[in-house]
Each structure stands twice: as structure tokens, then as C-alpha cells.
Structure 1
């Protein structure tokens, strides 16, 4: 590898406030950021992964897993706050890695985030469609099973032969509706998100409040089930594996930081938004998992696709089933909204830096939103949701989030060495102790995840490196294009 290529891979974005010529509008305050964080964080992780992690990994000690994941998030969240004040630009961890570690590191984490948000939004939209179909069935409105499943899913039998789905139309519908809303403007999207967050928090509070009196203390024994001899199957390793699994539930952090360039005062509001949403979500997760494992023995959650519904069956309140279904639908709605928002802002930032085609780096003159990015991901995310059984890929989002957190923590340390005199509106206290703790805690949880999840990450990053070599390195806004490479293009 010649020195020109090495210099290209290591060139860094200048640290400092970017010029407000991107077309994005600074309209969000701390309250909106907290609502965005809660909106994307409380959703699939609460209603599905809590039961999975308790039944297969940690038992009642899943409460400890949520605390461990929250602590790691707090370390990373504080680091996000420091970098957001120094670099108040759209793009989140991508921009921070680009400024601290160089272009190659920025590209890797940006490419990672694109997959994280795209797969996450697709998976949650499929789950949303299933709950919506169930709700419509209860109202006497029956959709064709073939139009609510992918071609790889069997929806019935005809003449002794399996009948497969055609496309998941409801999942595509909700992606299109939310994408159009995001194209109209960030203010409208934030208002809808705030309403949805209020509804689902009220439903969750009802489940916790009405479920508490029916808890069976015996279900908490043993609180930490003994390990079966297999790593991650109960015991201390089970708590750690559960923490890594439910990290999907804390995806909201990175999504919040993607809108730094649409925040009125990112140096002040971003730390409030990050840590405020973390505090609310951690309390909700711990309280909810406490009630869930108290109502249902953890052994009965193994393989249960609807552990919350099973838990409610242990109470005399049948109406709670409908309320929870509404809460889940609202929960998934806000998750999809913020994930679509996050992926478009990362793509927008990468295009503004020349690493992707320039059409994705422009905003609509009147709407002030990156319409091309939204249209592109509306197509990609909608296609995945329509034609693939995407749920299994949702595990990819956990390792993607953890990788982003590690890079951000590293970025804080590096910039303190490279830019020691640069003004910091917010500085993580305790020197490098918290960034190092964030690196270690997130790294340990990454190592606890299974080999298939790691393989998916490596394959996706390898594809990204090919894209970067063919386009990004040649068109980067920083520095001149390498003559020898241009000659070959």
C-alpha cells in the first residue's frame, strides 16, 4: 500500500462547528431529544427481548442485565455528549470517528450504522405488521395472509402443498407513511413521536401497576439460575449474554445523536437528551422486567413468542391484552420513525463528505430535509420488509450499536490528545476513566455475542470496504484524489 493511499485512509475531518449551509433546520430542544430517545428505545426490546433474555439466558436476573447494559450506555452516552458539543453535525458516530480516527474508520462505522438502522427498521416494521393484523382481526377486518408475509414464509396449505406469502404489504405501508412524514419536516415528526411516546408509556405504566399485586415471589427463586455448563445459559455468563442481547433495546442513543445538526444547542441539549432518555428507559425496563418475571416463571418464557401476553393472563384484567397490543403498536411505530430518521442522517452526512453520491447530500429547498435519502431508504427498507423474513437479522443491530459506542469512546480519548485546547461545551468528568470503562464494557458485551452475529458484521463491513475502494476514496471531499487511482477509473 503506497503512502498516498495511507494518507487518504487517515485524513480527518476538521474539528469544530460546521457552517449551517446544509439546509437542515435547528428546531429541536432537549425535550424533543429525550422523546426521540425514549421513542426508539422503548419498543421491541421491552415487549419481546425481555422474555427471550430471561427465558434463555439470565432468568429473573435479567434485571441485572438491563442495569449492566444501561451502565455501558451511560459511559457511551457521556462520550457522545462531549463529541456532540465539539462536532455538532449530522451523522453521529460516523462524523466523530471521521474527525478523531480518520476517513477509513469513519467509513466503517458509517457503513455499520446504515445496516444497523436499515435492518432494525425492517425487522420492527415486520413485527408492527403482525400486531396490526392481529388488532384488525379483533375488529373483524381480515387481511389476506399472503399479503402479510414474505415469499419465504408458509402461511397455509392448499391441495397438500404449502402456500407461501407474496409480500408483507402492511410493513411496506408503514415504512412509506413514516418516510413521507419525515420528508415533510423534523418538527412534524418530533410532534408525532411525542404523542406516541406518551401513549406507550401510559400503557406500560398500566401493565406495571395492575400486575404488581399478582406477582409470585417464588418466581424469583433462584434469582440467578445456576449455569448449565454452556456459556450464556444462566449463571453469570447468562447475565452477560442477556446484556449483550438486550442491547438492541438501547439502540436509541445513536439515533438521538444523528440529529445534532438539527438541535438548537447541541452542546447543552445533547447530553440532556442522551442521559435523560437513558434514565427513563432504564427505570421502565427494570420495573417492567421485574413484573414480567414475577408474574411468569422464567422457565415458561423459553420459546414464548408473546411473553407479555402470557404474563397478563396471570391477572384478572382481560382488557389489558388490548391495551398492551395498542402499546406495542405505538411502541413499534416510534421505533421505526426514529430508525428511518437516523439512517437518513448518517447517509446524508457521508454524502456531504463526498463518500457517497452527491444527490444524497442535498436538502429540499422548502422542506429542509434530505428527501433523496428518505426515498432511497424507503425503497431499500420497504423491500427488505416486504420480501425477507427479516427478524433473525435484528440481532445484527446489537453488535452494530456496541461497535459504534466503542468507536465513540475511543474518539473522545484521541481528540483529547490531538485537540487538547479545543473548547468543549460539555466534558466527560473523571479524565479518561469513563471512556475507557465504556470501551471495556461494550467490548465485553460484543465478545459475548454468538459467532453468526460476528460473521454477519464482518461480511457487511467487507462489502462496505469494496464500495469505499470503488467510490468513496476517489470522491472524498477531503484532499485531492489519488492520481494513479483516478487514471484507472
Structure 2
């Protein structure tokens, strides 16, 4: 019979953490508060580009209410959970570590579909250079096709990949500058446009014309992915303090960057038919003249670069963290002299180049429209978030005395109550494609599940037969996770058993 010795566990974890912190003082982590806020901003939003479909599918009133209510229902709970879990497990496998600690390595691999999350992220990243080129080719038609287009896309990918290779401190500082450039035109639009605010336009609604599922999908897509930054937790200075502050600052920044330009834009046109992708350039032109409209176009291009860099960072460090955890071959865990995961970044770059042709088809030719792509990505993400929510609650129940540098300031029942509306939203988005009979979304979801469930045993076979080198003997579970994070030594030998104070005696 085993019972949990909470006091002993807490004391041992605190003692081990002091030793780990002392041993890490010589290695300064690359991410401080402001760079982390900027990277979260680009992981989640990147500016108000993409919210136009919230107006076209829901109307002005629902769009305004959505960006006032959904951050409370969804963004704040997800950010709070990310703050607690990322500081409890400050390593680069992020959400994979949380779910592994709660439910074991199989489910940890499925979290965000592990490797599938990387594939999805690479596909997303292939879209950004193509979208940037779409803006650029309006002024430079030679980039519309042929070898100039190919050379530009390859050159841009290699340049942005090299920036990522040089280190998170470079990417983080660049993200700060790009955030300023992205938001500057919208600050001007807000300052010039608010005196001309038309409150009557903000409350217009046509309930019979509301497309509920597209509306919820667009709103959710614009306000999610707060957990993505957890894959950078091992690169953050003083994560116990930095993570909660960065997430709080990013929530305010993201909501303001959506809501204020939306209110001004609706004051100039409340006609839902006007609100298609790129409409904010029209708003800028009406508010401040042609120069401001072009400034919005420039901001959109900067935003594509920022989102590319943030996505590549989280994708590559996810591979790095999974290799350190023992899910992927050890080669993905090796770092360059800049402290960056070389093979993981190279794999992401090659994936982006391979997907670029398909990304052009998706984004430009219209095999899938914007709303369909959003729905495809949302469904898989919803399944993963339900798993992450369950892991958060289970760890609170099973390990109440686990050292949590930041703890959501609610008791267990309060955390459960906080997650109920968010979980209801996830279920609505999951059943939407079934109700609408969207075969493509259902098949995509089934493929994601099959891929995640198939890859795990294949990689375990590769490990057991010695086809590839892995770290450790098997993916680490709860005790091994704690040992690897809190031991004063950087890496314990694979054969060493976890210390006895991690036992539930």
C-alpha cells in the first residue's frame, strides 16, 4: 500500500531545485520578458489580420462581443494553465511533458499529436512566405510566377531559417522590433479613428444571417495557441516569474490589437460583405489616406515574417524537447554553438520548402478557403486541449504538493469550474463538422489520430531494435521527468533509477 508523503516530496523538490538553479547560473537563458511576450504575440495573433471573417460570418455585434467575452472564457484559462504547467515543467517538450507526467508516454506523444503538431506547424509556416509574396507581387508583378517567385521563396526561407539558427536571443529581439512595426499602423488608425467612432455600427446584427460554426471557428483560431510557447520553457530566464508575466502581458496585447482596430473599422463600415481578408488596408486608407493603407500592407508583410519565426522556434524546440524526452532520435537533441537545435531547425526548414507548393495551392488557388483551413486545424487542436486540461486537473489531484513556481490562484473545484465553459467550446467545435457533414474535416481528424497512434509504436520498435540512437531506455514517465528536471546534474545516466524521494510511499 502506497500513500503520498507530500511534505517529503515538497522538501525534496525544493532542495533539488535549489541545486539545479545554482548549477545553471553559468548558462544564461536566451529569453527574457519582452522577447517572450513578442513571441507569444506572434504565436497567437500577429496583429488583427484574419479577424475579418469574424465580422463577415457573425456580424458587427457578435464580433465585438466575441473579442470581449471569449478572451475571458478561453484565452485567460488557457494562458493560466500554460503558466502553471510550463513553470512546473520548464523544458522544451512543453505540453508533451505535462501529459506524459499525468497519463504516460503514449498519451504524451499524442498531446498536440506530438510529431503531428510539428507537421501541422510546418504546413502553417509554408503559408507565411507565400502570403507575404502575395502582398509583394501586387507592386512587383514579376514575383507572380516562374523562377523569380521560386528564387524569392527559397531565399526568404533560408534567410529566416538562418535567423532562427543564430539563436532565440536574436529571434526574440527581432520579434520585439517586428511587433512594434506590425502594431504601429493600427495604433495610428486607432488614434485617428476613435474620434469618429459610431456606436450604432457596433450593435448592428442580423441573426438570421449568422453562420455560427464558421464564426466560432474564426474566433477560436484567433485566440488560441497560448500553450505553444511552452515548448520554449527550457530557454526562459527565471521561468517561474517570467512566464506568468509574459502571458499576462501578451493576453492584454493580443486582445487590444484585435478589439481596438475592429471597433474603428466597424465605424467606417458595418456591412459584413465588406469584411474580407485584407480589409484593414481599406480602413487605413479611409482613416489616414493612401500612405496609411500601404502601411497596413507593410505591417501585414512584417507580421508574416514574425509568425514564421515564432512558429519555427516553437516547432524546432518541440522536436528538440521530444528528443530529450526520448520520443525522437537523439540527433534532434543536439545543439549548435549558438545553442539552437540544428537538426530540428533544418528539418523544419526542409519541411517548409517541401510544403511551399501545397501552401500556395491552399492560400492562393483556393482548393480550401480560409475558413476550411481554420476548421481543419481547430479540430485536432481541440482534441489536444481536452487532453491537456485533463492532465492539468489530474496532476492537481494526484500531486497536490508538486512544486509549482506559479500556481493558478484557484482551488481544485475553482479550476474545474474555470475550465467548464472552455471545454464546452471545445466540444462545440468538435461536433460542428459532424453536424455539418464535412467529410474532409472528419477524414483529416481521423488521419491525425491514426498517424499519432501509429508513429509511437514505430518509434518504439526503432528504439528496441537499435535502428536509431535514443536518449534513455524509454520515454520518461512522471518520476523520470521530475528527476531529469530537478536533479542538480544536467543529465542522469539512463540506467540510474529515480531517487527514492520521488516515490509515492
TM-score after normalising by structure 2: 0.77
Shift in Å at residue 469 of structure 1?
1.8
Q: Which residue of the partner structure matches residue 114 of structure 1?
A: 118
Distance change (3 Å), C-alpha of 1:357 and 1:248: same
Residue in 1 that maps onto 2:396 = 416
Displacement of 1:169: 4.8
Give per-residue Cα distances to partners, 1:313-352, cap 9 Å, x unaligned. Answer: 5446121111101111111111111001011111111122
Change in Cα spacing, 1:171 to 1:210, as seen in structure 2 (3 Å) is: farther
* Whole-Å separation in 1 of the counterparts to 2:172 and 2:143: 33
CA separation of 1:30 and 1:442: change in aligned 2, threshold 3 A:
farther
Q: Which residue of the partner structure matches residue 485 of structure 1? A: none
Contact 1:122 1:390 in 2 (8 A): no
- Per the alignment, residue 158 of structure 1 pairs with none
Corresponding residue to 1:177 among 136, 159, 167? 159
Please tell me whether residue 344 in structure 1 is matched to residue 316 in structure 2. yes
1:442, CA displacement in angstroms?
A: 4.3
| Distance across 1 between alignment mates of 2:296 and 2:165 | 30
Q: Are residues 1:462 and 2:434 paired?
A: no
Confirm whether residue 104 of structure 1 aligns to residue 106 of structure 2: yes
Q: Which residue of 1 aligns with 2:82?
A: 80
Give, in whole Å, the separation in 1 of the partners of 2:106 and 2:27: 26
Of 332, 343, 348, the match for 1:372: 343
SS of corresponding position for 1:368: coil
Q: Secondary structure at the match of 2:142?
A: coil
Deviation at 1:472, TM superposition (A): 3.8
Mapped contact 2:64–2:202 kept (Cα < 8 A): no
Q: 1:358 aligns with which of 316, 326, 330?
A: 330
1:43 aligned onto 2:46: yes
Partner Cα separation in structure 1 for residue 416 and residue 250 of structure 2: 20
Deviation digits for residues 242-279 of structure 1 (CA, Å, limit 9, x no counterpart)? 24323332345223222110011111111111121011
Q: Deviations over 1:350-392 (max 9, x none)?
A: 122222222112112x111101001011011122123442334
- Equivalent residue, structure 2, for 1:431: 411
Q: How far 1:474 sits from its partner (Å)?
A: 5.5
Q: Distance in 2 between matches of 1:221 and 1:215?
A: 12
2:136 aligned residue (120, 132, 137): 132
| Aligned equivalent of 1:29, options 25, 29, 32 | 32
Q: What displacement does 1:174 show?
A: 2.7
Q: 2:346 & 2:278 partners in 1: Cα distance?
A: 33
Q: Are positions 1:245 and 2:218 aligned together? A: yes
User: 1:97 & 1:253 partners in 2: Cα distance?
Assistant: 16
Which of 242, 247, 255 is equivalent to 2:228?
255
* Pairing 1:52-67 to 2, within 5 Å after superposition: 52-67=53-68
Q: Which residue of structure 2 lines up, in the alignment, with residue 283 of structure 1?
A: 256
The 3 A distance-change label for structure 1 pair 108 and 252 is closer
| Matched position secondary structure for 1:143 | helix
* 1:287-337: CA deviation from partner (whole Å, max 9, x where unpaired): 1211222222233236x3322133335446121111101111111111111
In the TM superposition, residue 100 of structure 1 has moved relative to its aligned partner by: 1.6
1:251–1:342 Cα change, 3 Å: farther
> Displacement, 1:42?
3.2
Please give the alpha-carbon distance, in whole angstroms, between the structure 2 residues aligned to 1:28 and 1:395: 32
Does residue 194 in structure 1 map to residue 176 in structure 2? yes
C-alpha separation in 1, matches of 2:398 and 2:330:
30
User: What's the counterpart of residue 9 of structure 2?
Assistant: none
Q: Does 1:331 align with 2:303?
A: yes
Aligned length: 431
Q: 1:93 aligns with which of 95, 103, 106?
A: 95
For 2:420 and 2:293, the matched residues in 1 are separated by 41
Q: Distance in 1 between matches of 2:424 and 2:342?
A: 36
Secondary structure of residue in 1 paired with 2:277: coil
Structure 1 residue runs without a partner (length 5+): 1-14, 149-165, 482-489
Map Cα deviations across residues 42-64 of structure 1 (whole Å, 9 max, x no partner).
337x22x2111111234332122
| Gap runs ≥5 in structure 2 | 1-12, 434-439, 464-469, 476-505
1:206 matched to 2:205? The reply is no
Q: Give the Cα–Cα distance (whole angstroms) in 1 for the partners of residues 88 and 451 of structure 2.
A: 31
Counterpart contact for 1:38–1:281, Cα < 8 Å: yes
Aligned to 1:145: 144
Query: Cα–Cα, structure 1 residues 187 and 316, in superposed 2: closer, same or farther, change >3 Å?
Result: closer
Task: Please state how far the C-alpha of 1:178 moved relative to its aligned partner.
Answer: 1.5
RMSD: 2.9
User: Cα distance 1:471–1:349, how it changes in 2: closer, same or farther (>3 A)?
Assistant: same
Q: How does 1:154-173 map to 2 (within 5 A)?
A: 169-173=151-155
Q: What is the Cα deviation at residue 25 of structure 1?
A: 5.8
Q: How far apart in 2 are the matches of 1:264 and 1:270?
A: 9
Match of 1:272 in 2: 245
Q: Distance in 1 between matches of 2:316 and 2:109?
A: 15
Choose between structure 1 and 2: higher helix proportion: 2
Question: Structure 1 residues 127, 227: CA separation in 2 closer, same or farther (over 3 Å shift)?
Answer: same
Superposition deviation, residue 406 in structure 1:
3.0
Question: Aligned partners of 1:480, 1:400: CA distance in 2, in Å?
Answer: 26
